[in-house]
Every structure is written in C-alpha cells, then in structure tokens.
Structure 1
Amino acid sequence: MKVIYFVAFIFQCISIVTGDTDDIEITPEEFFAVKNSLNFCGKVVLISGSSSGIGAATARLLSYLGAQVVITGRNETRVKEVADDCWHLSPHQIKPLGIALDLTIPGNVAILINETIKSYDKIDVLVNCAGIGLFANIQDPNFNDVYSQVRAINEEAHVEMTRLAAPYILNANGAIIFIASRLARNPTESTGAYSMAKNSLKAIAKTLAHDLGQNVRVNVISPGMVDGTRVFRLLPPSTRANSISTTIASTTLHRPAIPLDIAKAIVFLASPLSNYVDGKELQLDGGAFIPVF
C-alpha cells in the first residue's frame, strides 16, 4: 500500500512539473459561498459555558453574524446579561434561548438539549466550552475531590452533551468544537487534574471524527493564557504577576489572548471556511510553543 501511495505521489509531482494536471474550475457560486461563509443566519449554535469568558464572546460574535444561539451557565444573572447582549447584536433582533443550569447535575444536559430542540427544532453547531480551573498537587489530600469536580464539567458533561446532540448535528451536517487547553499538552505544577480532563477532549474529538463520519466535522481549540477568563483570575495572587509576565514573554506575539481571539477561531471552525478540517487540534497560544517539526 505504501508503494502505491509513493508511485501516485511521484506521478502527481511529474504532472505538476510538466503542466499535465487538471485545473479544477472554481465556479462563481463557490466564490460567493466563500464570501458568504460568515453568514450564520438560520444556524442554531449551542454553546455550553456561554455566560462568561470565551463562551460569552463566542455567543455575542455568532449572534452578530446572524446565528440563533443558546446561552448556558450556572449564574442566571450572567446568562440573562449575555442573552440580552446577543439579542441587541443580532442583525435580525433574534432573541436567544438562555438557560441557567448546572451541567454536572444528572439530567440537566438532557434538559438543555430538549429545550433547544423544542425552541429551534435543530442544532447545527455544538461548542463545548463549559469548564472550571481547579488545581492541586498529586500529594494534596484533596486531589481526588479536585479531579472529580474538574472531570464532571470539563469532560463528562461535554461527552454527554455531544452524545445527546450528535443525532441533530448529523442531520444538519454540522460541526462540533471542544475547548481544551495548552495545559493538556504542556502541563505545569499542580495542573494534573485539569490537564488530564482537557487532554481527554482531544481524544474524544479525534474519535468522533471517525464515529460521526463525513457529515460532521469535529475539532478542538487549545488556548494558551486568556485574559478575561476565570482560569486567568484563579492564578494565586502571590505568583499571578510573575506567571502572566513569564507567559507573555514566552509568546511571539507578546500578549495574552482575549476571549474574542478564541471566539474568532471557533467561528472559523463552525463555518464552511473550515470544511476540510476534521479531527484536528488548533493551538492558540500566541506562538508560545512552536515545534521544529
């Protein structure tokens, strides 16, 4: 099989060099589709953890682009605030569905999916963004509790959400996006529980790319340090300034991300612009980790 691939590659190279290659025509309709690719009118996007941070920025941006969004979070006041913002940002004044609930409570994920279908009758895009940042050393007596809490929302809730939403996304030829973390790839001290939970999202995304086939694209975004998020604020006060400055210095862009930076990448993966991207991890760390190969 490797020999066949190699021979095919050689013939392709020869064809390119000699000019004996097909020039696949791009139709005017395809050009228009690219130009129109950020028009989300008629699309239903369910975003977990969208009452603050990355999720809230994503909800606002997608609303501005015409999507019907579902806002979720545990804080009812923040859910309402984001929902109101989305309503006013919507070009067609589409009022989003806002649901305040804790996704770690059994049955609540099903309630969220059912309410979404009841309101919109479909789901085009699922953004698994809910999460908490809790940290503990493996020798900490509370490590197991921390690990359980982190897994419950950062991993288990996302798996259940995806499982229940998958039939609708399949029907819509849609997209699923998981928000992991650079700590899944580059853990630091006391981040074991968080890093393991986030790393699992990369595994499930790559598996789903196979399981859900050609009609659904599944990808992962792994942000680095993001200002304006809860994890950013949870850095210990005694080391926060040094951690931030060290991280900024390690990036080629010399700044932390902001939620809108990540939201833009989510929109890309949710749009037709990424229709040949599947089972991949997009690392948004500002150039902090640039491998040689």
Structure 2
Amino acid sequence: MENLHNKVALITGGTKGIGYGIAESLLKQGIYVAITGRTEATAKEAASQLNAEGNDSVHAIGLEADVRSFESQEKAVAAVLKEFGKIDIVIANAGVGHFATVEDLSIEAWQETIDINLTGPFFTLKAGMDSLIESKGYFISISSLAGTNFFAGGAAYNASKFGLTGFTQAVMLDLRKHGIKVSTIMPGSVATHFNGNKPNEKDAWKIQKEDIGELVVDLLKMNPRTLPSKIEVRPSTPPTK
C-alpha cells in the first residue's frame, strides 16, 4: 500500500487520543477518514475539527457506533461505503481501562473491558471483512504493552490486551491468503485522555498521539513484501523512579 492517496480508512474510537492522532496523520497523506465515537455529536465534532486543519484534498466524517454491537459496526461500515465507496484500511482503536485487584474488580467492569477491547475489534474486523478482501487492504489493532506485560490490578485490562494481541496475530495468518496485511501496535505510556487523564506538560515524556499516527503511516507505506506484524513502542526516556 505504498501509494496512499485517495485510500479510505475507518478508525474506531477516533474522537480523541490515539485514534484522533492517527486520523490526523492519515488525512495528511491524502487518505479519506471515517472516525467513530459513542455519540453522533462527539464524532461529528471531532471530524469537523479534523477538517478544519486544512486537508483540502480529502475529508473526514464522524459516525456514531458502538464497538460492542456487531449491528452497529455493520451500520458504520455501510455508512463509510455510502460516503466513499470502499474501505482500504480498518483500525480497531477503541478501548477502555478498568483497573482493580481481582477482589475488587466488578463483573460489570470486567465485561465492559472484554467487550470493548477484545470483542470490539472482532466485530469491527468482521463487519469490514468483505471490503478489506475486495481492496486487499490493511487491518491494524491498537493493543498495548499490557498485552505482553502483566501487572497487579490489571486482570481485566491484561486479559483484554493479551487476547487482542493473540487475536490479531492469528488473524494475520488467516487473512494473508486474501492479500490483506494485519498488524498490531502495542504502545506503552501515551499522552491521551485514557482512564480520565487530561494531557498536559507533565506528559511530555510519554509517546504522543501523533507518534502513533506516524507509525501507522510508516506501516502503510512499507513495501508490500514486508510485514511488521507486531510492533512494541514505548517512551524512550521514562522518568526515573
């Protein structure tokens, strides 16, 4: 996928943070972008902000979609196809984090974490499968270093991200016969709104959302004969404890 101009990307959870940063980077490459959010208002507002950044040749649209619902993901895919006529890139980015010891972890928190972080990417990919087969496209999941490094209080989050990493790697083997490329990106600390954080100057040492966007562009521009299937990325100079 070396020529990115006029490609079409669907990004779940694209209203802020990593998803928004990826959308910004793709628009700069001449890629049409559809971002999803939990409400139509937030999705359309984020798309309007993206379009105001001066990407004259392409544009973004915002869609309400819930990754926990396969029907909702099907509707999002249908809306993208109606607007742009194809889908070349699907990025499963939507995620949530609940952190508690297993004694304190609620059933509801466990279920929401698994539904959004693990079942969500499956629904997203499944809904976009026919389009990706037709375009010989690219599927990228945003996992986490928590998908390979476990920690106390991370039972739900670790389970979801370990699962997502394994899911994406298996999918890579399933889909390469169709000419579809599949990668998972596993970031460490990122300066986003995740888990109630509000990015500020204290987050300067962290990975920035545009860094993940740049990484996605690099993946898309990679020579088709080569596939970085699992990418770990972390801050180069974390603060000393």
**TM-score above 0.5, yes or no:** yes
Task: Decide which structure has the larger Cα Rg and report it.
Answer: 1
After superposition, the C-alpha distances for 1:7-62 in whole angstroms (9 at most, x for unaligned) are: xxxxxxxxxxxxxxxxxxxxxxxxxx9xxx4x522100000000010000111111
Specify the alignment match of 1:49 in structure 2. Answer: 13
Counterpart CA distance in 1 for 2:208 and 2:162 is 22
Specify the alignment match of 1:162 in structure 2. Answer: 125
Deviation at 1:286, TM superposition (A): 2.4
The equivalences for 1:168-183 within 5 A come to 168-183=131-146
Matched, 1:258 2:208: yes
The equivalences for 1:48-197 within 5 A come to 48-89=12-53, 91-140=55-104, 142=106, 144-197=107-160
Aligned match for 2:232, one of 280, 283, 287? 283
Inter-CA distance 141–223: structure 2 relative to 1 (3 Å threshold): closer
Q: Partner amino acid for 2:135?
A: A
Matched, 1:219 2:219: no
After superposition, the C-alpha distances for 1:230-279 in whole angstroms (9 at most, x for unaligned) are: 13719xxxxxxxxx8xxx9xxxxx9211111111111222234465115x
Q: Partner amino acid for 1:175?
A: Y
5+ unaligned residues in a row in structure 2: which ranges? none
Contact residue 46 and residue 71 of structure 1 kept, 8 A: yes
TM-score (normalised: structure 2) = 0.88
2:128 aligned counterpart, secondary structure? helix
Q: Which has the higher contact order (CA 8 A, sep 6+)?
A: 2
Counterpart CA distance in 1 for 2:125 and 2:153 is 29
1:66 aligned counterpart, secondary structure? coil
1:213 aligned counterpart, secondary structure? helix
2:52 aligned counterpart, secondary structure? helix
Counterpart CA distance in 2 for 1:268 and 1:81 is 27
Counterpart CA distance in 1 for 2:195 and 2:61 is 26
Contact residue 64 and residue 86 of structure 1 kept, 8 A: no
Specify the alignment match of 1:205 in structure 2. Answer: 168
The structure whose residues are more often helix, as a share, is: 1
TM-score (normalised: structure 1) = 0.73
Counterpart CA distance in 2 for 1:201 and 1:106 is 17
The number of aligned residues is: 234
Inter-CA distance 141–192: structure 2 relative to 1 (3 Å threshold): closer
After superposition, the C-alpha distances for 1:95-147 in whole angstroms (9 at most, x for unaligned) are: 322102322245211111111122222110111000111112111161x2211
